[in-house]
Amino acid sequence: MHQFEANFDGLVGPTHNYAGLSFGNVASKSNANATSHPKQAALQGLQKMKALSDMGMVQGVLAPQERPDVYALRRLGFTGNDATVMQQAYKLAPHIFLACCSASSMWTANAATVSPSGDTADGKIHFTPANLTNKYHRSLEPEVTGRILQATFADPEHFVHHLHLPENEHFGDEGAANHTRFCHDYGGKGVELFVFGRYAFDDSKPAPRKFPARHTFEACEAVARLHGLSEDTVVYAQQNPAVIDSGVFHNDVIAVGNQNVLFFHEKAFLDTTKMKKEILSKLGFDDFHFIQVDESDVSVEEAVKTYLFNTQLIRLPNGNMAIVAPKECENSESVSRYLSKLITQNTPIKEVHYFDVKQSMQNGGGPACLRLRVALTEQEKNKVNPHTLITEHSYNALCAWVNKHYRDELHVADLVDPQLLIESRTALDELTQLLNLGSVYPFQR
């Protein structure tokens, strides 16, 4: 049986901008108000998708969301036609207006948590969109994300879609950015590692002091229940509160795993020994590589700056594992030295590929943030909406679509231009036809 780990990358939306919306995310804060380049951002993302597809990986694309979100602004009391709603909000509540303009759905590691069929009680793939409650701009995503996922994975025989968790900080859920899966074969039984930042119902437990812990233990448990995972296939681990306070707002900024490898920083978790023991005993095989990076090799600060761990760890068709890293890793002396040495060691990781995703990095989104992983058997892959898979043809069509509709440059003040809303809706309407998604956007309903 053929089985794969497919990567579904988020297509960067036409309003990609830097608004400094994410407290606790160093890059987002430090690039606030910088000029963005939506066309370049979308093309950078597409190039990465095409490169992975050329390496023989199954690569898909998830559509972006409709922004500015005038419906969210109306809900907050702004009235009139769309242009008036936007202008009033920009004048009276600029921060709220900017939050309603973010193209943050591009980071599809936060779109959902996905449990492959090998792990679930009913043998189907389960999806739960993340509620992203901790940041207002991201909390606008789950409903449309759910519709896009349903249009991409439509067959009820193989795919189950759950409603996102209650929109409340107690069940703060950031999706696959805090989730990884270990297994022997992608189609077989695996162990799912759920990572959280704090306990919502127990104040006595450790928690960060400076920056928010976005994801709770209670959210992890709820998703595991919804997906029909049994106790013996799940491991829960708390992030080290100190690293959250150093800018590690999601666990995928400090750890990445795949199959029989966990690549992580020594400071990532609160109790590494316990977590390692539980992973090994639940997996039931010993051929496992815990690749721990020590502070003396790469500091947490350097890891956050370069996104060493926000790399994709992929299993190539030739059996080797490769790391897909941002250029920032290549440009850092300590990180590039570390990676050059790593691929000569006795681990499955034998290649490193560097990509320019700077437009995303400037908002705190590296290669791993841009993708949602879905482990699929051949049969399940054949049930995925074929228009969403990257081929030579779909890649060329998507690049042409971006070149036709996207602006080269965007300043924060441009977001209030009613013409941008018209441009975005025209582009997205055409995209739903290209990807055969149906009417997923509010303006289409």
Ligand X SMILES: N=C(N)NCCC[C@H](NC(=O)CCC(=O)O)C(=O)O
What residues make contact with ligand X under the rule CB under 6 A?
A: 18-22, 25, 28, 102, 104, 107, 109-110, 135, 138, 177, 249-250, 252-253, 363-365, 369
Q: Write down the least CB distance from residue 36 to ligand X, Å.
A: 9
Comparison of 139 and 347: residue with beta carbon closer to ligand X = 139
Q: How many CA atoms lie within 13 A of 182 on its CB side?
A: 28
Comparison of 28 and 180: residue with beta carbon closer to ligand X = 28
SS (H, E, C) the chain: CCEEEEEEEECCCCCCCCCCCCCCCHHHHHCCCCCECHHHHHHHHHHHHHHHHHCCCCEEEECCCCCCCHHHHHHCCCCCCHHHHHHHHHHHCHHHHHHCCCCHHHCHHHCEEEECCCCECCCCEEEEECCCCCCHHHHCCHHHHHHHHHHHCCCCCCEEECCCCCCCHHHCCCHHHHEEEEECCCCCCEEEEEEECECCCCCCCCCCCCCCCCCEHHHHHHHHHHCCECHHHEEEEEECHHHHCCCCCCHHHCEEEECCEEEEECCCECCHHHHHHHHHHHHCCCCCEEEEECCCCCCHHHHHHHCCCCCEEEECCCCCEEEEEEHHHHCCHHHHHHHHHHCCCCCCEEEEEEECCHHHHCCCCCCCCCEEEEEEEHHHHCCCCHHHECCHHHHHHHHHHHHHHCCCCECHHHHHCHHHHHHHHHHHHHHHHHCCCCCCCHHHC
Catalytic residue among 37, 227, 250, 405: 250
Comparison of 177 and 229: residue with beta carbon closer to ligand X = 177
Comparison of 11 and 160: residue with beta carbon closer to ligand X = 11
Comparison of 197 and 365: residue with beta carbon closer to ligand X = 365
Is 178 marked within a binding site?
A: no
Is 20 marked within a binding site?
A: yes
Q: Write down the least CB distance from residue 432 to ligand X, Å.
A: 24
Is 224 marked within a binding site?
A: no
Is 25 marked within a binding site?
A: yes
Is 13 marked within a binding site?
A: no
Handedness of CA 286, 291, 295, 297 (dihedral sign): positive
Residue 95 appears among annotated catalytic residues: no
Residue 100 appears among annotated catalytic residues: no
Comparison of 265 and 387: residue with beta carbon closer to ligand X = 265
Distances (CA, A) of 196 to 109, 212, 269, 270, 328: 15, 12, 10, 10, 27
Distances (CA, A) of 343 to 55, 180, 311: 18, 22, 14
Residue 221 appears among annotated catalytic residues: no
Comparison of 22 and 272: residue with beta carbon closer to ligand X = 22
Q: What are phi and psi of 161, to 5 degrees?
A: -115, 125
Please give the Cα distance from 58 to 212 (Å, whole number).
35
| Catalytic sites, residue numbers | 174, 250, 369
Q: Annotated binding site: which residue ranges?
A: 19-28, 110, 137-138, 214, 252, 363
For the annotated binding site for substrate, the residues are 19-28, 110, 137-138, 214, 252, 363
